Amino acid sequence: MAVKNFGQGTRCRPSRRHIGTLVSLLSVAGCGLHQSALNPAGRDATSISTLFWVMLAGAVVLWLLVNGAFFYMSRVRPGQFDQRYARHILIGGGIVLPVVVLTTLLVWGLSILPDPRRPGDGLVVRITGEQWWWRVEYWPEGAEDPILSANELRLPAGERTEIRLTSARVIHSFWVPALGGKMDMFPGRETMISLAPEKPGSYRGQCAEFCGASHAWMAFSAVVMDPGAFDTWLAAEAADATPPQDEAAVRGADLFLSEGCGACHTIRGTDAAGLVGPDLTHVGSRQTIGAGRLPATLDDIRLWLDHTEALKPEVKMPTYDLSPTELDDLAQYLEGLK
C-alpha cells in the first residue's frame, strides 16, 4: 500500500506528491500499531512516548524561533545592528538560552526515563536469545524450578516484571516497543529490563540487533493479560501436555517420537525431552510458530513442517521428508497442544 503511494506520487504534480508522501507515512505508522513506541501500553513505554512528544514539540518551537530570527534579520530588518544589541542577542540566544533549555530537558528527561533495573513485583522471566528464537522461563516468586516456554512472552497487567536476558551464541536485542525500551542480550552475561505493562492486548516484540541470516524472522508476541487470567494461564502452562484425542493427532504424536523430533524438542508428559529447540508442550496455545514467523494455525503449522528451511533461512531445524498424510497428522497433533 505504502509503496504504491510512493510510486504514484512520482508521476504527480509537486503538491500532490507531498500529499501522497504524507498519506504513505501515515499508513506505514498505521500498519505497525502493535509494534510501535508511539502506541504505549505500559508505564515504561508511556514515559518514552511522552519524552518523544515533548522533545518533538520543543524541537519544533526551537526550529520556528531560529528560522524566525533568521527571517527577521535577513528580510524584515536587514542591515547593521547596534553593537550592544547584537552582543546581547549572541550571549542571550547563543549561550544562555541553550544552556537553560538543554539543562532543563536533560534533568527532566533523565527523571522520567524508565530505569531498566527497577526491581519487579515478584515474577521474573528469563529469556535466552537463540538463533533465531527465544527460550522463555517463568520464575514466579519463590519458585524452585522454572515454567518452560518459548517464543511468546505473557505478562500480567499492572505489575512490574523483571525480564532477565542472556544469549546462547551471538548478541541479540530484546525489544517490545509498545511496552518499553530495548535491551541487548549477550552470551555469558545477564542483562535486565523491567517492564510494567498496563493495557491488556497483544504486542509484537522483535530482535533489534542483527544476529544472522534469520534475524528479521526472530520475533515474538508479548501478550499482556489481566492478572487473574495470567495466573490461570501460567498454571496451564506449567502443566504437562494433554494427550491427543482424535485419531490423526494420536498418529501425529507417534510420528513426533519415531521421527526423532524429541531429540531437540520437549513435550512435557511424553518421552520427548530434547533441549536444543523450543519447548512445544503448549505450542498450540501460542499465537505464532517459528518465533513470530507464522500464525499458529493448523495450515501454517503444516506449512512450517513442510518448508522449514525455506521459511527461515539457515534455521537449525531440518525440513523433514514427510508424506502429505504424515504432515497432516503431525500438524494436527501440534496444533492440539493447547
Partner 1 sequence: MRRLLLTMAVLGGLGLAGAGAVVGLGLYNVSAQVGHLPGVSWVLHTTFRNSVRLRAPSMEDAPDLSDSDLIALGAGHYATACAMCHGTPATPRSATAQAMVPEPPAIAEAVEHWQPNELHWIVENGVKMTGMPAWPATGRGDEVWAVVAWLLAVQQNRAPVPPVDTSGADYCRTCHESPGGPVPRLDILAPAYIAAQLELYRTGSRPSGIMAQAASVVPRESFADLAAELGAKAADVAPDLPLTGEGAELASRGTRKVPACLSCHGDDRSKGPRLAGQPSPYLATQLRLWRDGTYTHDRLMVAAARDLSDADIEALSRYFGAQGE
Q: Which residue shows C-alpha cell 519524552?
A: 51
Show the binding pattern over residues 121-160: x = contacts partner 1 (CB under 8 A), - = does not: ----------------------------------------
The residue among 7 and 260 lying less far from partner 1, judged by its C-beta, is: 260
Within 167-186, which residues bind partner 1 (CB under 8 A)?
A: 168
For residue 187, state whether it binds partner 1 (rule: CB under 8 A): no
User: Do 121 and 132 contact (CB within 8 A), yes or no?
Assistant: no
Q: In this structure, what DSSP letter does residue 92 have?
A: I
For residue 258, state whether it binds partner 1 (rule: CB under 8 A): yes
When binding is defined by CB under 8 A, the residue of 257, 294, 298, 322 that contacts partner 1 is 257
- The alpha carbon dihedral of 140, 268, 286, 232 has a sign of negative
> What's the rounded Cα separation, in Å, for the pair 24 and 10?
13
For residue 310, state whether it binds partner 1 (rule: CB under 8 A): no
User: Do 149 and 218 contact (CB within 8 A), yes or no?
Assistant: no
> What's the rounded Cα separation, in Å, for the pair 9 and 23?
10
Distance of CA 236 to the CA centre of its chain: 24
The residue among 134 and 230 lying less far from partner 1, judged by its C-beta, is: 134
The residues pairing with 130 across neighbouring beta strands, listed in sequence order, are: 133
For strand 172-175 and strand 182-185, is the pairing parallel, antiparallel, or unpaired?
antiparallel
Stretch touching partner 1 by CB under 8 A, among 27-35, 46-54, 148-156, 259-267:
259-267
Tell the smallest beta-carbon distance from residue 236 to partner 1 (Å): 24
Stretch touching partner 1 by CB under 8 A, among 72-80, 151-159, 224-232, 268-276:
268-276
For residue 276, state whether it binds partner 1 (rule: CB under 8 A): yes
Q: How many CB atoms are located within 10 Å of the residue 121 CB?
A: 13
When binding is defined by CB under 8 A, the residue of 33, 69, 236, 275 that contacts partner 1 is 275
For residue 2, state whether it binds partner 1 (rule: CB under 8 A): no
Residues that bind partner 1 (CB under 8 A): 168, 257-264, 271-276, 316, 318
